[in-house]
Structure 1
């Protein structure tokens, strides 16, 4: 029988100057959504959740870089044809210097484990090698990334982005020149309601400090032979059945906000609302409708990245 596996990650960075509020809520909301509406089993053999809640500290469920790498390996191991695999991440995303010259921008996208300030970030190239390359090509992988700079988070070769008119366009996110939005004035345009401008200004100032402070440091992955060795053109020909909805383009930030008084990530909230509205929508419809819902309040543009040249009009399946 086909199996369903899920890895759900939410990091609030408690006690740090870069603390977020909604990422652990995102993890629990996604867990509920998968179990109650998509038929996933909450059994720990099938579903693993990593959060930086105090109860998890010192356990394999605390999202350090080392634990994340172990969890990624678990997720993509022993997959068979017909299996459905889910990965979601809600936390900080960043960019680090591209030491190998593959990127015209000079930067690689990253995710930030809870211990990133001491042990470094995990780059998009490393994520591809850990998650995409080992996947069974006949098992479907669905990824939801709710973090800044998430457009190329796992280096899938085909990326689609909706424009202001709702048209879906193919963009080249591999070796595409992107520009970092490092200035505070560009970090969070329209990310808060008008009655919370003071909060918005405060968040923008903190975010600018955060992104300016990111530096590439040695990663746990380096010791496991997963360091970046340059972009591999054959990644475009892997044709893995992988579909990633990401909260924004490479050069954008993703809002950590509040919906009905509860902290959440804008992308996680929008994606689940769109899927609940009509579970039978196509990939194109989900992307367009998520974009429509987000643009009512935020400037970030969600994207859909795919592991091959697949029919985007097919119903979303995971």
Structure 2
């Protein structure tokens, strides 16, 4: 079982070596003492989520899907839960993920462990990577508010940490990109593939991956090195992590009624699903190009019949919006030859 403790200084979750009396944080380098205790007897409520137990064979598929609507607050979003349901449908019906291996976190769930609180999202991320092995395919999807805060550790190129906002972020705080990276990026071993799909404001580098694909409107691109200037390691344990996000770090993401004239979804989520369903997902470059084309048509009110007049003119973070989907990765690759698969 994966055992973690929060860093005593920066609160990043740290994996505990077996029998260790202390552990050093890879982010701020602080040493956190560990209180050793006898192993508890197994029980259904002990440890990580027991939901969605997966087979022990190689080649498993597992996903965490978070849709946070902030219902009843001034931060309420119309499309996030719909996003989550659409993504589950896509994973099950197009990519053959077993329903039993998909953990849903929305305010509509009846199990208290599946409400998208800060602690439950943290636990779900731990569950996602627990025991992963070569051949596994993992997906982390999030639709909700995203934000930024000043980086206190000096490991961000732009000086800001990106953050996810759980439903209780006003009282419990946000989940910063350093923690996301430490929890679901660093543990990924050789042969395991993790895709993250983040439909939120300020989400361009939400996983703190080492490389960002800068692509112009003609399809010319280059990988921008985002390795931390202070030298903190943000890579994997040999595996591959690729992230599609709704917008650049300084941009907002919007809600849209494109999938239904009466139901909202995130514009990025719609564009991602449309790229796949329209056959524009042969390569990662194809998906990114298709998503950006769709978003530009929405923004301009162009001649995409199902999109005309259907976009909410507010970002998920409030106010006007402009967004350009982004692609980041743990290692650079040729985006127009690498085949996309989940």
TM-score by length of 1: 0.77
Aligned to 1:288: 289
Q: Distance in 1 between matches of 2:102 and 2:280?
A: 21
Q: RMSD of aligned C-alpha atoms?
A: 1.9
3-state secondary structure, aligned to 1:293 = helix
Residues 1:316 and 2:340 aligned together: yes
* Structure 2: segments with no counterpart, 5+ residues: 1-57, 300-321
Q: Distance in 1 between matches of 2:279 and 2:214?
A: 21
3-state secondary structure, aligned to 1:297 = helix
Residues 1:10 and 2:67 aligned together: yes
Residues 1:48 and 2:72 aligned together: no
| Bigger-Rg structure (1/2) | 2
Higher mean alpha-carbon deviation, 7-16 vs 296-305, is at 296-305
Aligned to 1:278: 279
3-state secondary structure, aligned to 1:151 = coil
Structure with a larger share of its residues in helix: 1
Q: Distance in 2 between matches of 1:252 and 1:174?
A: 21
Counterpart among 162, 167, 185 of residue 220 in structure 2: 167
Q: Distance in 1 between matches of 2:324 and 2:275?
A: 15
Tell me if structure 1 keeps the 8 A contact 2:227–2:234.
no
Residues 1:145 and 2:195 aligned together: no
Q: Distance in 2 between matches of 1:269 and 1:99?
A: 35
Relative to structure 1, is the Cα distance of residues 101 and 23 closer, same or farther in structure 2, using a 3 angstrom cutoff?
A: same
Shift, 1:18, TM fit: 0.6
TM-score by length of 2: 0.72
3-state secondary structure, aligned to 2:233 = helix
Residues 1:256 and 2:279 aligned together: no
Relative to structure 1, is the Cα distance of residues 278 and 65 closer, same or farther in structure 2, using a 3 angstrom cutoff?
A: same
Q: RCO greater where, 1 or 2, for CA within 8 Å and sep 6 or more?
A: 1
Shift, 1:173, TM fit: 3.9
* Structure 1: segments with no counterpart, 5+ residues: 177-230
Tell me if structure 2 keeps the 8 A contact 1:147–1:254.
yes
Counterpart among 77, 90, 102 of residue 155 in structure 2: 102
Higher mean alpha-carbon deviation, 114-123 vs 257-266, is at 257-266
Residues 1:307 and 2:330 aligned together: yes
Tell me if structure 2 keeps the 8 A contact 1:162–1:291.
no
Tell me if structure 1 keeps the 8 A contact 2:186–2:236.
no
Aligned to 1:75: 128
Tell me if structure 2 keeps the 8 A contact 1:237–1:308.
no
Aligned to 2:239: 240
Tell me if structure 1 keeps the 8 A contact 2:281–2:287.
no
